[in-house]
Structure formats: C-alpha cells, structure tokens
Structure 1
Amino acid sequence: MASPSASTPSSITRPSPHRPRTDMLRRVMLLATAACLLTSGCTSGTTDHATIQVDHATALADQPVHLTISGLSPHASVQVGAQAPARDGKTWRAEATFTADDHGSIDLDRAAPTAGSYQGVDGMGLFWSMNPPDGNPDAQAYTPPAEDGHPVEHVEIRVLQKGKTRASAQLTRQWLAAGVTTRTLTLAADKVSGVYVAPPPDASKHPAVLVFGGSEGGLGVQSVAALLASHGYPTLAIAYFHAPGLPQDLHDIPLEYFATAARWLARQPRVDPAHLIALSASRGTEAALLLSEHFPGLVHGAVLYAPTDVVVGSFPERGGAAWTLGGKELQRDARIPVDHVSGPVLAIAGADDQLWPSMTAAPRIAQELDDAHNRFPHRALIYPQAGHGVSGAPYLPIGTKEVHPVTRTLISLGGTRVGNEAALRKGWTAVLALLESLTP
C-alpha cells in the first residue's frame, strides 16, 4: 500500500504567534493520513486516491462479495486483478480492464470489463476466472491451501493504472464458519471412515446431510460438508473406497456401510432424524438413490449431481458389481427403482456432460418419481454449456478436464468454464433452498 503524496509536516520548534493554527493543521493532516492508511490503497504522486471497498473481507467461500473502487479520475482506465495461492504453492491470477464512471468509481456488480479473463457483468468474475501460472486452465482445478486441516482461500485484489498499483485489499474465503466443529470417525471405533461437521450448538433440530463422493474415492467431500454445516446443517462426509482400511476399488461396496453412517448421523444431537438427505455426485449418485429406495425409513431423499438412473459396474472396470445389498451383488445396467423414496429428490446435470449421459438420466429420475406417484418434491435441473463438473459450491476456478485421481488419465468433463460456473451457482442455491424447506 503506497503512502499519500502529502506527508505529515515536520515539527516546528521555534516560537510562533501562529502555533495554534499550525498545530491544528498538523492534526488535520495526521487524521487524513491515518484515514488513508486505514483504507485499502493510497497512492503517492497523484491528485486522486483510489480505494477498494468490500462488504465482507472475510466470508464463507460460497458467499458473493461486493467490490467497489472509488477515488479514480472520471473515465480512467484501470486493471483490476485478483490472485490467490493454491495448495501446491502456485499463484492463480485473473485480471480485467474497467473504465471508471463519471464519478471515478467502478462497481464490479454493475460494470462489465472491456477486456480480461471474463466477460459481461459479474461481481465474482475475478474469483472463478483465475488461471494457473502454467498449463491449460481448462485442464486444472484450483485447490485452496489448508489451515488447521480446513481449506482457506486468501485473495488479494489490486487496482493498477499504467503498471502501478493504485489500491489493494486482502480477502479471506472460509469453508468453516465460527463455532462449527469437526469430529473424525474411524472404522475401528465407528465402523465408518469420515468426518462429522456440526453447526454451532443451539436448541433446534436440523435437517442433516450424508455426503460422499464418486469414482474419485477417498474423502474429497469435506469442503462440501464444511459449507453445509456452516449454513446450519449437520453433515457427515464419508469415504467408501480408495482410502485406508477400505476397498481400493469401487467393487462390491455394501449399501449397509452407508446405512451404518446414516444411523450414526441420525443419533447426533440437533439432528432431525426425519429429514436426513444423501448427497453425492457421479458414481456416488447410484448409492444415494439406492439408499433412498432401500432404506426409506433412514434416508429421506437425495441430491444427485451428474447422476445415473441405472446401476453401473465396478470401477476400475473388472467385470464385477459396484454395490451389494444383503450380501448379493446388484445387477449391472438394472434401472434403480424409486417406488419407496420417502423424501425430496433434486437431480442436477449439465447439458454437455461428456463423461456419461446425466442430462438424460436426471429427467428420467424425475419422471420415474412422477410415475410412482411420489408425493415429495422432485425435479431435474439441466444447465446449458455445463458438463460433468456441476457439483459443489461456486466461485472457484475449475476446468473442463481433469486427471482422474484413481486412473491418472485425463478425462473430458464437458461444458465451458462460464457454463459450469453458472450451473454451480444455480445448483448450489437450489440445494440450500431444498434444505431450508425441510427446516422446521
């Protein structure tokens, strides 16, 4: 942060008949300097002093922030940049050029950049459009650093004019709100491998979420659990394969394992056991929908990102079944029934899913629930220009391809960065609205 051009006057030691006025001027200048230093960005050598105003310098990662820039010359052209370090130490960056209005201000919620890493009016455009320093941004996804085991994103916003920094501000994006607690579950003690994330204590019962991933395996869904708990919903994130003590492949996974996790979650204080939702993506949607069908007294509906409506085989492919129930393998390619689903179902898909046809599976699930005369809310949301990567919260840079963590091969997810971001915003809003509708 640069200092203002008008510095504090030097002390006057000789007597003067105008000393009171001089002291008053000194106090005014000191106050002005202090005010400038407390504001994001003060620039020397200019007649105007740019500042960045942000409504929430520290916020949840799924909360949009409102950025405005003031103190510029009318119609000045400036570059506004964002940068954030990733977990691997690389710094991701985005930049866009804006023109100040008649008052020397730029409101990022209202102004469209004339050039840059994103187009159109988007107050959060600088966040999701950040690019890595090397490689194809479409083939990479940003992973925030971890602090105390939880992701935290530190974003620096800068205003530059003719190559010089005019103002800067630091923002912190968190996944875990104040008062939210976590507890690790182990196979030895709990017969489940996962992390329970509990909202701050209160006297109410809340809908709860059992969340698990897809063919990536492991416990990569903790960030989703943290955000859901930060919104007030007790959430248990579990691993079911490709993790210590669990099968290394998606092969013969008992549905009873998920039921054990759901029973544990239902017993927790402040959990409303009548409103327990399964949430998953891709291959995990099979288990989520199967749980809702075969354990309707325990799991009361599902959120299905990029879903399938049929049972798929083992992964990596080995000719066997992915799931078992009562010790018996579930038949591959069999349609997943929905006759006993006892809660809401939300199926979310991208119209350009290049991994599998979730865009047709999602509406089929909704139609099958209609045909079964299911009395609970159910719908399919299909987003144009979005691919397979439509799960989770918005505002983070994601690509349209990824290296699969199990097979280590590059896979195409489909969609565009713009389309996927739009789907993440709308889909996440729909998920939170569904949970809110279950809150007493």
Structure 2
Amino acid sequence: MAQIIVTPVVSLADEPVKICVFGLKPTQLVTIQASVTDERGILFHSRAFYRADSSGEVDLERTAASGGDFQGVLPMGLFWSLRSVKPFQRLIKRDVMGSPFRVTLDVYDFLLFKTDPAAQPVASQVTERWFVKPGIERTKIREGRVRGALFLPPGEGPFPGVIDMFGGIGGLVEFRSGLLASHGFASLALPYFGYEDLPRTLTEVDLEYFEEAANLLLKHPKVLGPGIGVIGVSKGAEIALAMATFLKHVKATVFINGFNSMNGTPLHYRDIHIPGIPYYEERILLSDSGAIDTCYVFGDPLSPKYQDCVLPIEKAVGHILFVIGGEDRSCNSKRNAEEAIERLRHHGRNNSQLLFYPGAGHLIEPPASPFVRVTVSPGVLQPLIWGGELVAHSKAQEHSWLEIQRFLRLHLGKPSMSRL
C-alpha cells in the first residue's frame, strides 16, 4: 500500500519539510499534488511527476521531478509552485494566529495533468504550516495615530524590535511579523494606508506617523533598545529608507526591492519636504495576458530635475541591507540600490550591504512562500507583473531570509535567552 510521509507534519511556514512516498511499484510513474485553500475560499495547487526508484520509493530530497510544474530535485518545489485556480491570485495568510495553512499532499498512481475532482489518490497527508510558533503573543495596536499589530516571542525578553511594512497592497499584513516573532524579534506589523481610520489611499508619506510608531515600539518593556530595525518591500522599502535617513533610533534597515527616492508621493517630516518623482503611465508595457509591466513607469532619480526627490541617505546612522531581485519587473530596484550605495560611499559611509539575486523578482518573501510572477493588486485595474523565475526566486527567498535575520541580530542585539 502506498504511503506518503511529511516530516515534520506541523511546522512553521518558513521551515523546510521532507516528503517521501513508500510502497509504490518499482519505477512506477506517479503524480504528487499539493493543494491548499486560503481564507477567501480560493484553491491553490501544484503538481509534479516522479518515477519511483527500484525499491518503490520517491524521496523529494533525491528524486528529480520529470515534469509537472517544475523539473529537477526540488524538495520544496510543490510549495514554491502553488498557484491559484482563479487567475492572478496571491496566497497570503491573513489570520496568522487562528489557524495554519493546511496543505494536502496527494499521490496519484498516474499522470494527473489537470485538477479532477473524481480522481482518487492512493495516499494522502495533510501538513500544517503555521506563521506563529506556540506562545507568540499578538496585540492589536491602536495608540495615538498608530495602527497595527505587535507580535512578541514567548518569555520576558527583551527582544530586538522591528517595524515590518509592505507596499501597494495596503492594509495590515501580518504573516512576516508572525514569523519574525517566531525567530525571536518583537515585530510591529505597521499599516500606513487602507486600514481602519488610516487614509484610504497613499497621497503623502507623513514620516511623523512612522516616528510615532518607532517610539511606541521602543518604549515597550519587552523591546531591546536603544534602537530598532525596519523591514520593508516596494513602497515599504522606500519608507524604510526614509526612516533610516531621518530617524536616529533606526539602527538596521532591510530594503527589499524599492526606491532610493520618493516616487509618486511626497514626504513630509517636520520642516522637511521631499517631492515625489511623477509616474509616467504612458511607459507601461502590456503583456499578451493583459498584465502590465511597470518597470519603466518611474522617473530617473539621476536626472537633474529630480535631485530634490532623492533621499539623503548619507544622514543614516544605522546600517542598511539591500535585498534585490535582478528580474524585478515592478521597478528597477537594482539601479536604485546601486545609486543608494554609491551615494553612501561618495559621502564616506560604509554602512550598507547588498544581496543581489539575478533570477529573483519583486516579491521576495520568507522561504516557501509561493512564487508569483503576476498577481492582481488593490487599486490597479489590470494584473501586475512582478518578474522572476521559480527556482532562482525561491532560492533567493531561502537565502535572504536567513541573512535578514542575521543582519538584524548583528545590529540590534540578540534576545536575552536566559530569560526566555
């Protein structure tokens, strides 16, 4: 009798699992399919074809997929390649505390080329993928103007504090903060538009809001001072760089595929005003599927007419880690990072580090997050092309996640393990 074993069967969503199938006929061809339904009821699935060895076993750590959604020896390929049956959807965990993603792994004793509700698997296993480990505390934040959710590891701490931001998706996005807390960080998932009484759309970046959030995090008794970290992707990376520039208690900044200047929206901070480079929508490229490529929409920050839009990051007192995908089709993040690093060096600063991943796209997230090249995005009428290639992007997520944690611990300090 065929049997599929997943080890561990319950894990954090950023942890690898081992998948093995036993009890097959020697050299038998099989399909292994992964499927999960998100909180909206949308089904995501992936499948790969394997040939059992002479003992009737398939071990994804050593058996190459011959076809399906990928080829080769990719132990986590079924998680990397999960895609929705409804086009252009992104798999995001919304309720990180209440439930995990329950991913079903089915084995079929034939080649399954498309979803067939009548098809009966010969073996199945459900694995739970959590975004918080046991003991994580989540507190909804509604203090002053600040909105969000604070995730704290179990124990007394103190823990290094991190503000976690996303981009144009808006709202409150918590899955990365839950994982950061699971690895020992006090993480504040910080929305800045499209949530509760915050502005519905982003028309300006009021840096005093982000300063208030930083002060709120720092004064928490379980947060290890004297500084905090910031991590952001896309527009969140732009804001993170602005925080690093003007807020002296930002000691470590993780910049994931963003801009070194203000784009579209101006920045205000006390008596400082930085205008935004206008968008050039006529530069949008259209794909055959109707998705749009926005890589050329943004103005050149090196242009003399936009010099007052560039962030003066040489003022940053902390360290900056640039995480860049070489196939980012949302923006030219590589050029932005190179210009930022050159500006720092020109001013005699040696406080930056670059992680460059040639085949990665825009949405570099924690490991095992499904690769998405094109998705719909709030406020945009057509799907957006994010870029990247499955294997290179997924490996970039694995490597960068470890480096991000190492960087934050290096510059913020480690939690007081003796008090956990």
- TM (normalized to structure 2)? 0.83
- SS of 1:54's equivalent in the other structure is strand
Higher RCO by CA contacts (8 Å cutoff, separation 6 or greater): 2
Alpha-carbon distance in 2 for matches of 1:269, 1:175: 24
- SS of 1:157's equivalent in the other structure is strand
1:294 aligns with 2:242: no
Per-residue deviation, residues 303-335 of structure 1 (Å, max 9, x unmatched)? 011121112232xxxxxx2x2011543133422
Q: Structure 2 matches for 1:379-394, cutoff 5 A? A: 379-390=353-364, 392-394=365-367
Paired position in structure 2 for 1:169: 125
Paired position in structure 2 for 1:201: 155
Paired position in structure 2 for 1:218: 171
1:241 aligns with 2:185: no
- SS of 1:312's equivalent in the other structure is coil
TM-fit CA distance, 1:164:
5.1
C-alpha contact (below 8 Å) 1:110/1:121 kept by paired residues: yes
Paired position in structure 1 for 2:323: 348
TM-fit CA distance, 1:144:
4.2
C-alpha contact (below 8 Å) 1:301/1:342 kept by paired residues: no
TM-fit CA distance, 1:95:
1.6
Paired position in structure 2 for 1:324: 268
Give structure 1 regions of 4+ aligned residues with deviation exceeding 6 angstroms.
Answer: none
Aligned counterpart in structure 2 of residue 424 of structure 1, from 397, 416, 420? 397
Paired position in structure 2 for 1:44: none
- SS of 1:274's equivalent in the other structure is strand
Alpha-carbon distance in 2 for matches of 1:308, 1:209: 20
Matched letter for residue 414 of structure 1: G
Alpha-carbon distance in 1 for matches of 2:251, 2:96: 34
Higher deviation after alignment, 325-334 or 231-240: 325-334
Alpha-carbon distance in 2 for matches of 1:108, 1:85: 23
Per-residue deviation, residues 380-420 of structure 1 (Å, max 9, x unmatched)? 22222322222x21323342122221233322222233443
- SS of 2:258's equivalent in the other structure is coil
CA RMSD of aligned residues (A): 2.1
Paired position in structure 2 for 1:436: 409
C-alpha contact (below 8 Å) 2:252/2:408 kept by paired residues: no
Structure 2 residue ranges without an equivalent (≥5): 111-118, 277-305, 415-420
Alpha-carbon distance in 2 for matches of 1:85, 1:159: 18
1:309 aligns with 2:252: no
- SS of 2:121's equivalent in the other structure is strand
Larger Rg: 1
1:411 aligns with 2:384: yes
Paired position in structure 2 for 1:140: 89
C-alpha contact (below 8 Å) 2:171/2:191 kept by paired residues: yes
Alpha-carbon distance in 1 for matches of 2:226, 2:339: 26
Alpha-carbon distance in 2 for matches of 1:360, 1:252: 24
- SS of 1:339's equivalent in the other structure is helix
- SS of 2:400's equivalent in the other structure is helix
Would the alpha carbon gap of residues 174 and 350 (structure 1) be closer, same or farther in structure 2, given more than 3 Å must change?
A: same
- SS of 2:361's equivalent in the other structure is coil
1:370 aligns with 2:345: yes
Alpha-carbon distance in 1 for matches of 2:191, 2:84: 29
Per-residue deviation, residues 177-196 of structure 1 (Å, max 9, x unmatched)? 1000111111xx33301111
- SS of 2:5's equivalent in the other structure is strand
TM-fit CA distance, 1:288:
0.9
Matched letter for residue 320 of structure 2: V
What is the aligned length? 374
Aligned counterpart in structure 1 of residue 314 of structure 2, from 326, 339, 347? 339
- SS of 1:301's equivalent in the other structure is strand
- SS of 2:318's equivalent in the other structure is coil
Paired position in structure 1 for 2:100: 152
C-alpha contact (below 8 Å) 1:92/1:132 kept by paired residues: yes
Alpha-carbon distance in 2 for matches of 1:145, 1:279: 19
TM-fit CA distance, 1:172:
0.2
Structure 1 residue ranges without an equivalent (≥5): 1-48, 315-320
TM-fit CA distance, 1:146:
3.5
